[in-house]
């Protein structure tokens, strides 16, 4: 793996996208920034962190076997990799808030953003962006944020945690390459935040109560609603209120 370490950049995902346009990235490439000034989350949200205290990095990887229709399995695999590392660090009550926020109890400790590179109508590569709160303890007005240090009281070496994450990422890359998609999906669903619990959601027609039952292979959230009707929602169509 090629590693590019930066002091400051706007977004590691954007840096990698620009690099991929200039160069032919045939090997896995990781861009790690000590400070990210314009980090992005799902649907254009911002990811703000204190410089040098957290892990903000992106990985460019050519895709094998996974199709455009199956690309949500990459999101599921990445989420599970982060979950495993956090559990190894003795973080309690780790879960995945659909589609790809990692929580400890009800507080966000990590965000993942995956962008697809499509060529000739096929999935050619993915850019996996990770923002993991490690040693930051003051999040100001940011609601429901936490970090590894906040949870454990221990100051961690960023590179050690990065190596742990990479080890787990490649474990799940192996599962993807072996076509073990059902195994990944079952594991992901087993760790979904609020699964099988009555929850309140906000949709196009206002608030409603439902129960998360799982996800579709394309990444839509399956919610059991009134009259035992199972509906599927895309990211922009529903918001879990908690």
* Nearest-angstrom CA–CA distance, 16 and 54: 19
The alpha carbon of 239 is separated from its chain's Cα centroid by a whole number of angstroms, namely 17
Residue-wise pLDDT tens digits, 33-72:
999 887 655 445 555 578 899 999 999 999 878 999 999 9
Per-residue model confidence (pLDDT) at position 174: 95
**Positions in the chain whose pLDDT score sits under 50:** 42-43
Q: 219: alpha, beta or left, given left = phi > 0 and alpha = psi -120 to 50?
A: left
Residue-wise pLDDT tens digits, 93-113:
999 999 999 999 999 999 999
Domains of the chain, with CATH numbers? 2-190 (3.30.930.10), 198-241 (2.30.30.100)
Identify each DSSP E strand in the chain by its residue range.
Answer: 2-9, 29-36, 39-40, 46-47, 55-62, 94-97, 101-104, 107-119, 122-132, 198-203, 206-215, 221-225, 229-233, 239-241
Per-residue model confidence (pLDDT) at position 48: 57
CA dist list (Å): 65 to 24, 99, 178 = 20, 22, 9
Per-residue model confidence (pLDDT) at position 39: 67
Q: Which residues contact 19 (CB under 8 A, 6 or more apart)?
A: 4, 25, 29, 31, 60
Per-residue model confidence (pLDDT) at position 184: 98
Per-residue model confidence (pLDDT) at position 43: 45
Taking alpha carbons only, the member of 237, 202, 229, 235 closest to residue 213 is: 229
Rounded to the nearest 10 degrees, the angle between the axes of helix 72-88 and helix 181-190 is 60
Provide the Cα torsion 62, 115, 95, 240; round to 10°.
-160
- In whole angstroms, how large is the CA radius of gyration of the chain? 18
CB 35 within 8 Å of CB 47:
no
Per-residue model confidence (pLDDT) at position 140: 87
């Amino acid at each position: 793996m090629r590693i590019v370490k930066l002091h400051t950049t706007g977004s590691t995902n954007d840096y990698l996208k620009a690099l991929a346009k200039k160069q032919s990235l045939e090997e896995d490439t990781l861009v790690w920034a000590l400070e990210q000034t314009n980090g992005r989350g799902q649907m254009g949200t911002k990811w703000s962190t204190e410089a040098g205290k957290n892990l903000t990095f992106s990985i460019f990887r050519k895709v094998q076997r996974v199709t455009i229709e199956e690309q949500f399995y990459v999101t599921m695999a990445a989420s599970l990799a982060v979950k495993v590392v956090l559990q190894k660090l003795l973080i309690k009550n780790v879960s995945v808030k659909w589609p790809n926020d990692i929580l400890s109890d009800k507080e966000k400790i990590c965000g993942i953003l995956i962008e697809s590179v499509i060529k000739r109508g096929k999935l050619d590569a993915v850019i996996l962006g990770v923002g993991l709160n490690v040693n930051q303890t003051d999040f100001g007005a940011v609601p429901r944020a936490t970090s590894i240090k906040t949870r454990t009281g221990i100051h961690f070496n960023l590179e050690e945690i990065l190596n742990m994450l990479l080890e787990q990422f490649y474990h799940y890359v192996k599962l993807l390459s072996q076509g073990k998609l059902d195994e990944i999906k079952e594991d992901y669903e087993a760790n979904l935040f609020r699964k099988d619990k009555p929850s309140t959601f906000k949709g196009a027609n206002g608030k409603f109560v439902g129960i998360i039952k799982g996800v579709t292979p394309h990444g839509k959230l399956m919610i059991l609603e009134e009259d035992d009707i199972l509906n599927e929602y895309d990211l922009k169509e529903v918001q879990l209120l908690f």
